[in-house]
A and B are shown apart, each in its own frame.
Chain A
Amino acid sequence: MLELIVRRLGTTLVTLFLLSIVAFILIQLPPGDFVDSYAGKKTQGGVVVTQDELDAMRSRLGLDRPVYQQYAIWMGDLFKGDMGFSWEYHRPVKDVIGERLSMTLVLAFATLIFTYLIAIIIGIYSAVRQYSIGDNVATIIGYLGLATPGFLFALILMFLGQKWFGVSVGGLFSLEFQDAPWSFAKLMNLFSHLWVPVVVLGMAGTAFQLRTMRATLLDELNKMYVTSARSGGIPEFKLLMRYPVRMALNPIASTLGWELSKIVSGAPIIGIVLSLPTLGPLYINSLLSQDMYLAGALILIFCFLVIFGTFISDILLMILDPRLRTGKAGVK
């Protein structure tokens, strides 16, 4: 098992390296560069910028060098722990990302936990009580959850929150805590705000995983090995948890990485709508202004999250399914 984990770590690193190249190419793809978009903004503000100035700026930023050199410099700095400089914010990328990164992580993992907890519990209930009222309600909510775009849901929640409770559901903190140092009260305040983006972000994923859980479990419940275990006199709840449910967790666990990537990619738009202090809005800005190093760093972080999710899901699968652990599957 340890060997498998080490091997997975190796492939993770390789993937990350390849992705960094892809990321770099991607942010180079749109026509023009930061200098162009900078010039555009200045011109709009009525300032005249000469071509000489622009060229000087390009060479200062290294934008006049060939692409592979730019990449090499970026990579070299990355290995030293330097993520580069954000031209837009005139600060090191590290500082710009700063606290937003931890907020993003908190949000992503809270959403993930929410998604899986709800999906598994309601999925089990729905399968065991198939066609009951509860199951039908869960199915309808599930369909709605799948069909409603996240940002729309966010807007609805904001509107309702404002109208009925007179509170703003945007952001992650109330005004008085926005710049306050960390304290227990601030943490509590975070949690009281967190549920809105968590629900909005996790809604579609929860609905999807719930349906998967229900369908797989329904399948498993009819399998011979369940009847066989039941014929040994194992009590129903124990039987349910140890036999079919454990089997039905497999497909859910294997999509964990994918789920995380959907949460991460869904975050920017919802982040803007709910004005969250996360990386999402930053990411969209950096792409618009072609703030290369910032965008590159963010893409890398997102990719890392996704790969990390896949890694976790692989480990989970190995824990859940001995056939993967021992590599002895399919022996006749």
Chain B
Amino acid sequence: MSTLVEIKNLEKHFPVGKTGIFGKHKSLLKAVNNVSFTIKKGENLGLVGESGSGKTTLGRTLIHLIEPTRGEVLFNTGENKIDIAKLRRGELRYQWRNMQMIFQDPYASLNQRMTVRDIIGEPLVANKLASGDELNEKIKNMAVLCGLKTSQLSRYPHAFSGGQRQRIAIARALIMHPQFIVCDEAVSALDVSIQAQILNLLKDLRHELDLTYLFVAHDLSAVAYACDRVAVMYLGRIVEMAVTEELYYKPKHPYTEALMSAIPPDDPEVTMQKLFVQGEQPSPVNPPTGCPFHPRCKFADNSRCVKELPELREVSPEHFAACHYAESLSLKGALQFQVKQRKTTNNKQVEYLNTKRKEIMAKL
């Protein structure tokens, strides 16, 4: 697979704390700290991590919704590579056709005063890409593709449920046929039954429209289901990145192991083991020295881990980890914590209910 986006040393700092006499901020919060990785064309790359680890900030900086502090984001348009991080407003607006973002809150992200048709079509109208019948046709096609009914197009967003609103937001993001979509917690606010609908929709659209996703979420099971590769963030850095099965089943970073140990098992008869990590993520304003995870890491030593920052490196083919001892540690994966797997609905019950239904219906 070819590379779609190449991120090099990307950083985003926020000034924080009380301002001193000369209006200078006392400290810097490094929300994204020297992050480098690549996103392959056509993949769905997951981004997980605890709250405050910098997932949202990374997603936004990446498509230049917020100004990066430094670093490069090379976007491969097919013809040439463009550094998104350096673009100015005008060029950026042009490039944004290629990259879109879907947000968590389908309530807040839609203009309540516009009809669904206008909401979906707005990017085309604003960029003067279509009008009249052509516009209508495009809107209709995209709406249907996203599971909306054409009869719903003239209604307003408040008349829709959370899941339907998310469909509208997706249709709007896709109307300009972008190549790259950042989904920031796009299914987190939805109920499980609806979440499954949207996850399926995103999956179908990816194949149909040849999309690439950066899928930001904190729900590890949803990410495992949706993504081909996953990156784990901790205190503004990527600490591990690998193909989903590798990362979940054979993690190479103690923090990933800790995350896996925290997922409640599917089976109520499997009791969770004592958590592999204590305490909480420290404040990103003064991160620990050396390895940022060392205060919580049960493998930490008193020398290297405290003093030296482990770089993200390829520890086995296509498997990156930022831990000094990545090769030598033997860590448990999700399956070791989840000994048995819950079966999906047993088909016998479904069959049984179907015959029963027939019986009852016959009597009616």
Chain B residues with CB under 8 Å of A327's CB are: 18
Chain B residues with CB under 8 Å of A332's CB are: 52, 283
Number of A-B contacts (CB under 8 A): 3
Residue in chain B with minimal CB distance to A331: B283
A327 to B17, CA, bound (A): 10
Nearest CB of A to B230, in Å? 25
Chain A residues with CB under 8 Å of B18's CB are: 327
Residue in chain B with minimal CB distance to A327: B18
Chain A residues with CB under 8 Å of B52's CB are: 332
Nearest CB of A to B28, in Å? 16
Nearest CB of A to B240, in Å? 24
Number of interface residues of A (CB under 8 A): 2
Main secondary structure of the interface of B (DSSP, over half): loop
Nearest CB of A to B93, in Å? 33
A327 to B26, CA, bound (A): 14
Residue in chain A with minimal CB distance to B18: A327
Number of interface residues of B (CB under 8 A): 3
Chain A 100-116, CB-CB to B under 8 Å as 1, else 0, gives 00000000000000000
Chain A 212-226, CB-CB to B under 8 Å as 1, else 0, gives 000000000000000
Chain A residues with CB under 8 Å of B283's CB are: 332
Nearest CB of A to B107, in Å? 19
A24 to B134, CA, bound (A): 67
Nearest CB of A to B287, in Å? 14
Nearest CB of A to B105, in Å? 19
Nearest CB of A to B53, in Å? 12
Chain A 5-37, CB-CB to B under 8 Å as 1, else 0, gives 000000000000000000000000000000000
Nearest CB of A to B234, in Å? 16
Chain B 49-87, CB-CB to A under 8 Å as 1, else 0, gives 000100000000000000000000000000000000000
Chain B 1-42, CB-CB to A under 8 Å as 1, else 0, gives 000000000000000001000000000000000000000000
A332 to B283, CA, bound (A): 8
Nearest CB of A to B350, in Å? 42
B267-312 residues at the A interface, CB under 8 angstroms: 283
A327 to B18, CA, bound (A): 9
A5 to B283, CA, bound (A): 30
Nearest CB of A to B211, in Å? 34
A332 to B51, CA, bound (A): 11
Nearest CB of B to A92, in Å? 41
Residue in chain A with minimal CB distance to B52: A332
Residue in chain B with minimal CB distance to A332: B52
Nearest CB of A to B65, in Å? 22
Nearest CB of A to B268, in Å? 29
Chain A 295-332, CB-CB to B under 8 Å as 1, else 0, gives 00000000000000000000000000000000100001
Chain B 342-360, CB-CB to A under 8 Å as 1, else 0, gives 0000000000000000000
Nearest CB of B to A260, in Å? 29
A332 to B31, CA, bound (A): 14
Among all A-B residue pairs, the 3 with the closest Cβ atoms = A332-B52, A327-B18, A332-B283
Which of B's residues lie within 8 Å of A, judged by CB? Answer: 18, 52, 283
Jot down 3 A-B pairs with beta carbons below 8 A, ordered by A. A327-B18, A332-B52, A332-B283
